[in-house]
Amino acid sequence: MLEWLRAHPFVTWIIIFVLITYVYNKVFKTRKLPILKDAIIYLMLALGSGMLLFFQLAGLPIVLSLTVAVVLMLMVRIRYYVQDRENRKS
């Protein structure tokens, strides 16, 4: 898989950008920002994704690490959903 990601850098950059945007929206975004500030944040995320792409192409497992982070976040959301449903029943 690492060879495929290395052979397709634009697709790899998009994957990194989507994963890092999901992490930002679920962890760090606490309130709605004005549109210009939001645009600046996403521009910085795009630039940061480029830096992470460089590390990915150098051989570090950036996409894999971000995927694990997103999966763990989804597991926590599922756990909170189940807990909330059990609390409503009792």
d(CA 22, CA 72): 12
What local confidence, expressed as pLDDT, does residue 63 receive?
94
Count of structural domains, the chain? 1
Q: Are 3 and 63 in contact (CB under 8 A)?
A: no
26 within a domain of the structure (yes/no):
no
pLDDT at 73 over 80: yes
Orientation of helix 35-58 relative to helix 62-89, angle to 10°: 130
60 within a domain of the structure (yes/no):
yes
Q: What is the pLDDT of residues 21-56, one digit of tens each?
A: 999 998 888 888 899 999 999 999 999 999 999 999
pLDDT at 69 over 80: yes
27 within a domain of the structure (yes/no):
no
Q: How many CB atoms lie within 10 A of CB 56?
A: 24
Domain range holding 41?
1-21+32-88
Q: How many CB atoms lie within 10 A of CB 63?
A: 18
What local confidence, expressed as pLDDT, does residue 48 receive?
95
CA distances from 74 to 6, 20, 23, 26, 27 (A): 27, 14, 10, 10, 12
